[in-house]
Amino acid sequence: MDLDLSPEHALLRDTVRDFMVTEVAPVVEEHERERRFPTEIVQRIGELGWLGIPIPEDEGGAGLDTLAYAIAVEEIGRVWGSLGLIVAAHTSLGCGPLHLAGTDEQKATYLVPMASGKAIGAYGLTEPGAGSDAGGTRTTAKRDGGEWVLDGAKRFITNAGHASTYVVTARTGTTDRGDAAISAFIVPADTPGFSVGRLEDKLGLHASATGELRFEGARIPAANLLGTEGEGFRMFLKILDGGRISIGALALGLAQAALDASIPYAQTREQFGRAIGTFQGVAFMVADMATEIDAARSLVWKAAWLKDQGRDYGLVAAEAKLFASEVSARATNAAIQIHGGYGYTTDYPVERFMRDAKLTEIGEGTSQVQRLVIARQILGLRVV
Cβ within 8 Å of residue 1, ≥6 positions away: 293, 294, 297, 298
Report how far residue 12's alpha carbon sits from residue 342's, in angstroms, rounded to the nearest whole number.
Answer: 34
Report how far residue 41's alpha carbon sits from residue 44's, in angstroms, rounded to the nearest whole number.
Answer: 5
Report how far residue 311's alpha carbon sits from residue 308's, in angstroms, rounded to the nearest whole number.
Answer: 8
CA angle at 77 for the pair 75 and 80, rounded to the nearest 5°: 115
HSE at residue 48, side-chain half, CA atoms within 13 A, is 14
274-275 and 270-271: which strand pairing? antiparallel
180-188 and 165-174: which strand pairing? antiparallel
Bridge partners of residue 157, in order along the sequence: 211
Q: Known catalytic residues?
A: 364
- Helix residue spans in the chain (DSSP H): 7-19, 25-34, 39-47, 66-79, 81-88, 96-101, 104-106, 112-115, 232-268, 280-308, 314-339, 350-357, 367-379
Report how far residue 194's alpha carbon sits from residue 269's, in angstroms, rounded to the nearest whole number.
Answer: 54
Secondary structure of 67-104 as H, E, C letters: HHHHHHHHHHHHHCHHHHHHHHHHHHHHHHHHHHHCCH
Report how far residue 8's alpha carbon sits from residue 19's, in angstroms, rounded to the nearest whole number.
Answer: 17
